[in-house]
Structure 1
Amino acid sequence: MEDRKLTVRAVERALDILMCFTKGSELALTEIASQIGLHKSTVHRLMTTLEDRGFVVRDSRSDKYRLGLKIWELSTHLSHSDDPAVLLLPAMESLRDRLGETVSLYLRDGGERIRIQAVQSNQAIRRVAQVGARLPLYVGASSKVLVAFAAESDQEEILNAADWPDTVDKDTYRAQLADIMEQGYAISIEEREPGAVAVSVPVMDHNGRIAAALSVSGPVSRLSAETLRDFAPVLKESARDMGLMISS
């Protein structure tokens, strides 16, 4: 029984290591150890195994690790038939061409949102959105959409989580969620990142549950609050079409 527990723990630690690469493409051993809270010697043993199996590669010059070809090999066998990141990409590209700004698609994963797809603006000055980025739920237009249209029990779990920051007043946040529910979209002006603005709407499935958050973002120098509000009906139209696509 003890050996089985140790084996499971080792698998969990190896997966935690691989998830570190969602925050950076190249990481040093000390960075990985710090992120997952393990001693360097323990991480080194796990990295050696992952390297032997092709899941990570170590650059001998920088002594940093990056994901290996085995990850790519696994990803090629994913089923894309019902993957919203793949299924909705053409619609996102059409929306980008129509509005001229960066389009992103987010899912909620526990107490975070993750950007599962992005179509970058073609303009010289643009908002670059990194696919795979994990962001907190207490700030940003897409975060608030994902929370506003979630089940009430999920909302309370999110707001009462131990890591909810004391600097974000829950009553104010709840009032914002009510406004978003009423108007059907959320706007953020430099809430999470200086110089960046966004407008976001929910993508609902055939059961009326939120499936994703669709957003358009760009620089504050080009997109005023009024412009973002003008974008909202266009996003809602696209989100309705996307909802039909993922429900079919």
Structure 2
Amino acid sequence: MEEEKRTVRAVERALDVLLCFASRHEWGLTEIAGRVGLHKSTVHRLLATLEDKGFVTRDAATDKYRLGLSVLELSAHLFRSDDPSVVLLPEMEKLRDEISETISLYVRDRSERVRIQAVQSMQAIRRVATVGARLPLSVGASSKVLLAFANDGDRETVLADPSWPAQLDLQTFAKQLDEIVSTGYATSFEEREPGAAAVAAPIFNRSGKLVAALAVSGPSNRLTPDRMHEYAPAIIESAHRMGALLG
């Protein structure tokens, strides 16, 4: 049993090392050790194993580590023909061309939202959305949509999470979620960061299950509250079309 625990712990540590590369493409040994809170000798052994299996590669000139080809081999099998990030991409591009702002697709993963697809705006000044980015559920139009239209049990679980920001009044936030259900969409104006705004609507599959949040984001001086409300019907209609494509 003790040996099994050590083995599982080693796997957890190796995964923690790999997850460093979700936020940056290149890391040094000391940087990774500081990020994951492990001794450099431990991290060095983990990196050596990951390198041997092709999950990371080391640049001899800079002594920095990057993701290896094994990650690419795994990701090739990530997307299926029924994956929303693949199926909905043409509709996302169509909405981008109609509204001229960045379009994103988010799903909920426990107490976070994850951007699984994005179509960048063609405008010179735009919101650049990185696929794979994880963001908190406490702020943002997409977060509110994913919580507002979740079943009651899921919503209560998230709001009861100890990591939920203490400064947010739960009663006020819950009332806001109920209002979003009534209007069919959510907006955010400089909630997560200055100069950014977004409007989002839910995507339900043909069985009525919430699949994702469809979001339009852009600079707040262009995507004003009035403009977001103006765009809302087109976003909701696009979300309906996307839902019809999903089983």
TM-score (norm 2): 0.95
Do the aligned partners of 2:33 and 2:43 also contact (CA within 8 Å) in 1? yes
TM-score (norm 1): 0.95
How far the C-alpha of 1:79 sits from its partner, in A, is 4.7
Which residue does 1:52 correspond to in 2?
A: 52
Which residue does 1:108 correspond to in 2?
A: 108
Which residue does 1:128 correspond to in 2?
A: 128
> After superposition, where does 1:184-203 map in structure 2 within 5 Å?
184-203=184-203
Which residue does 1:40 correspond to in 2?
A: 40
Which residue does 1:90 correspond to in 2?
A: 90
User: Would you say how many aligned residue pairs link Structure 1 and Structure 2?
Assistant: 247
Tell me the C-alpha RMSD between the 2 structures.
1.4
| SS of alignment partner, residue 117 of structure 2 | strand
How far the C-alpha of 1:39 sits from its partner, in A, is 2.4
5+ residue gaps, structure 1: none
> After superposition, where does 1:166-185 map in structure 2 within 5 Å?
166-185=166-185
Q: Deviations over 1:174-219 (max 9, x none)?
A: 1110111110100000100110100000001223221100000111
1:31/1:151 Cα in 2 relative to 1: closer, same or farther (>3 Å)?
A: farther
Q: Which amino acid aligns with 1:196?
A: A
How far the C-alpha of 1:246 sits from its partner, in A, is 1.5
Q: Which amino acid aligns with 1:119?
A: V
1:198/1:79 Cα in 2 relative to 1: closer, same or farther (>3 Å)?
A: closer
5+ residue gaps, structure 2: none
> After superposition, where does 1:1-248 map in structure 2 within 5 Å?
1-247=1-247
Say which is worse superposed, 237-246 or 2-11, in terms of deviation: 2-11
How far the C-alpha of 1:37 sits from its partner, in A, is 3.0
Q: Which amino acid aligns with 1:85?
A: S
Q: Deviations over 1:56-111 (max 9, x none)?
A: 11223333221111111222233521111111111101110111100000000011
Q: How many percent identity over aligned positions? A: 60
Q: Deviations over 1:89-138 (max 9, x none)?
A: 11101110111100000000011000000000000011100111000000
